[in-house]
């Protein structure tokens, strides 16, 4: 698996690694993937995570991944940065789509225009679905139908 540190979440990759090891599917390959992902993320602050991967300690890694999913442990800085960039890209796309909607032809020169009724858009393709799923899990986005997401009410 090719890891893109700019848009892949380390937490999701490690969750997949735990699942692979638990079913017994090439554990050596899975641990190598975990190590590659950890190095690609350049995550130096989380010593406990580093030790779990280096020592191939499945129980420690499972606990870390569970704590991320339950919200008991903050995501690593790498993941927080990816989510922040993704949300910014989403907001930018939503803004552009709304502006485009508001500026369509058909308004008279003396009209005050109209406000867009668009509340959701498809997220940018540069980020995988796992990123958008994590933002939904964190309640920073709302998943609609047909791959459309929207911002939660303020």
Q: How far apart are CA 15 and CA 64, in angstroms?
A: 9
Helices (H), the chain: 10-22, 27-41, 47-54, 58-70, 77-102, 129-137
Rounded mean pLDDT of 86-112?
79
pLDDT tens readout for residues 106-128: 555 555 566 777 888 999 999 99
Q: Is the pLDDT of residue 101 over 70?
A: yes
pLDDT at site 27: 83
More confident residue, 127 or 24: 127
Strand duo 149-150 + 120-121: pairing? antiparallel
The label of the residue with tokens 């090891």 reads 21
pLDDT digits (tens, 9 = 90+) for 29-56: 889 989 988 888 887 778 899 999 999 9
- For 107, other C-beta atoms within 10 Å of its C-beta total 12
> Taking Cα atoms as reference points, which of 40, 38, 39 lies closest to residue 64?
38
């Amino acid at each position: 698996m090719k890891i893109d540190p700019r848009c892949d979440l380390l937490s999701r990759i490690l969750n997949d690694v735990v699942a692979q090891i638990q079913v017994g599917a090439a554990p050596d390959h899975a641990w190598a993937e975990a190590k590659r992902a950890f190095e690609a993320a350049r995550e130096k602050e989380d010593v406990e995570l580093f030790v779990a991967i280096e020592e191939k300690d499945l129980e420690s890694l499972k606990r870390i991944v569970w704590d991320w999913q339950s919200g008991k442990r903050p995501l690593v800085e790498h993941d927080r940065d990816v989510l922040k960039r993704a949300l910014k890209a989403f907001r930018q796309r939503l803004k552009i789509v709304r502006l485009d909607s508001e500026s369509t032809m058909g308004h008279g020169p003396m009209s005050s225009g109209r406000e867009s009724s668009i509340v959701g858009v498809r997220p940018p393709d540069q980020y995988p679905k796992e990123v958008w799923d994590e933002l939904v899990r964190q309640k920073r986005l709302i998943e609609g139908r047909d791959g459309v997401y929207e911002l939660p009410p303020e």
